[in-house]
Structure 1
């Protein structure tokens, strides 16, 4: 498996940003990819991912040969968030991508031709024991999400699942969600920003959340669980054109990913070990991490709840067509 950084294909991302109207170069394989592989050969595919705990099953599945056994050769391409991955998928720079559900619903609302093909991960549904937490630094006077009005809160992508879920936590705690001051930061920069007082709180996911806790930080809300205890947080997707032109490769990716999700669910110790190969987490923090759930199927009711909140807060301008978007 090869890994690329987002910087190495930045020029391609800029070129494809204008392709979101739907006429991108997502033909068989796309740039840097190969054809459908229906003849039994190896299909080289690039997958746009965020280097966080969420995608551990993909790394495990590659290591265990689940993709190779189906004739898929993966290259991981890292990005800060799903919003940056979407144009790369539409333009064909990567054939598959990992994105949270809000990003995919926003894209569909703007008539970007995206198609979810495999489940990603879900909230544990347990307050204080989820893989994502709304955290404050050591010594903070803030003890509740309801106290975040007028405070700076870090999320990895503005006007997305982060602010939607944080607003729900604030709302449930009796605060005014419209008064929160959101700041965009990559997940791996959030621990330092909290410790240095540059933000008052942050919606952090593992493994960065374990770092925050090791610095004395406190989780005041589990925002994904506040949206829905069964929240489908993210999925793997492709462009509708690629799905139509490469159905065999898509089918193989779906099968391999489902097997990878099942394996990750059954082998949490291996999940923790694989994290050290693509994140900066130390061995000492591994045991303190909260892992997400990795069901093989999305929970539609939770996605509908997320969409309703997105419409309420103005993140989504119209209801998503989930019949078209979901597998």
Structure 2
């Protein structure tokens, strides 16, 4: 019988973040009523990963949407998603962008975070994430993953939730899958070398894997729920309480940026090329997320339900408090 490797990192992370939260009230730079610069703009920072999901934020700066709301936005690149939440909780940054389940988990651990805008959503078939395998692996659908080693970028998070659901829906038993952690960028070569038998990846690594002759057996974001919102822009309860006007202005600008991004995919590809090192030929062909200001309550409820079922959450999340 296969077992999922479950290190004690989540508990350690929770304790660390709670400590950061306790100290965050002493930081006046990213909380409290904001001051303006010499141009009359309010300096604001957001922490996010330099991936295509962040394109609307860059377009919002590029198109002047944030400036029109009186905001001078600086986008700080995080080394990984795990670094974003602590930077917001501590007050280092006013805003962050991260996957929706990570935000639910943070609140479950006692951290005061709220989504104030959508960030990106499932696109369709094909989607911007896929479960990949070699063409001769014998794995043709999610149920065939039983007895195999499958990589996800983080255990006990959104990737594991959607893949477990895909396996169950296909008639398989996810407890018989050996889930291991592996960064998205490493997936194509790990499949090629036989290190793993299947792996979950997002763009641009899905396109890179397909270029190597690998195959996608599932588009798990879209198949989990066609309106799944994958990530959101969030802030701390402290910023919401002390500067609601700034939060409202940031939300308006972000919503405009999301609409612009969805209506202008060529601009998404152009701006993504300015802050990533994605090969131009891949950038032109890869599947983009869907960008929309609206968040699906139904999809969020289903994500919370499955996360509870799989032990990723201990309590049912208060979606009224979490979602915009």
TM-score > 0.5, shorter chain as reference: yes
Match of 1:241 in 2: 238
Listed as ranges, the gaps of 5+ residues in structure 2 are: 1-12
Paired residues of 1:44 and 1:74 also in contact (CA < 8 A): yes
- Give SS of 2:195's match: coil
Match of 1:228 in 2: 225
1: CA distance, partners of 2:150 / 2:78: 21
- Give SS of 1:175's match: coil
- Give SS of 2:259's match: helix
Equivalent pairs, count: 312
1:269-308 paired onto structure 2 within 5 Å: 269-308=266-305
Could you tell me how far 1:115 is from its partner in structure 2?
A: 1.0
- Give SS of 1:237's match: strand
Could you tell me how far 1:152 is from its partner in structure 2?
A: 2.1
1:113-132 paired onto structure 2 within 5 Å: 113-124=112-123, 126-127=124-125, 129-132=126-129
2: CA distance, partners of 1:16 / 1:310: 22
Give the TM-score of the pair, scaled to structure 1.
0.87
Indicate yes or no: 2:164 matched with 1:167: yes
1:130-151 residue CA offsets vs partner (Å, 9 max, x unmatched): 1111111354321111111232
Match of 1:78 in 2: 77
Match for residue 148 of structure 1 among 145, 153, 158: 145
Describe the shift of the 1:38–1:319 C-alpha distance in structure 2 as closer, same or farther (beyond 3 A): farther
Indicate yes or no: 2:57 matched with 1:58: yes
The more displaced of 133-142 and 301-310 is: 133-142
Match of 1:178 in 2: 175
Paired residues of 2:89 and 2:236 also in contact (CA < 8 A): yes
What RMSD, in angstroms, separates the aligned Cα atoms of the two structures?
2.5
The more displaced of 274-283 and 252-261 is: 274-283
- Give SS of 1:298's match: coil
Describe the shift of the 1:158–1:178 C-alpha distance in structure 2 as closer, same or farther (beyond 3 A): same
Paired residues of 1:38 and 1:248 also in contact (CA < 8 A): no
Describe the shift of the 1:165–1:201 C-alpha distance in structure 2 as closer, same or farther (beyond 3 A): same
2: CA distance, partners of 1:111 / 1:253: 25
1:143-187 residue CA offsets vs partner (Å, 9 max, x unmatched): 111111232222222110010001011111221111222222332
Describe the shift of the 1:149–1:15 C-alpha distance in structure 2 as closer, same or farther (beyond 3 A): closer
- Give SS of 2:24's match: coil
1: CA distance, partners of 2:34 / 2:218: 45
Could you tell me how far 1:27 is from its partner in structure 2?
A: 5.2
Could you tell me how far 1:243 is from its partner in structure 2?
A: 1.3
Give the TM-score of the pair, scaled to structure 2.
0.88
Match of 1:191 in 2: 188
2: CA distance, partners of 1:37 / 1:115: 24
Paired residues of 1:17 and 1:88 also in contact (CA < 8 A): no
Describe the shift of the 1:91–1:15 C-alpha distance in structure 2 as closer, same or farther (beyond 3 A): farther
2: CA distance, partners of 1:40 / 1:73: 9
The more displaced of 186-195 and 62-71 is: 186-195
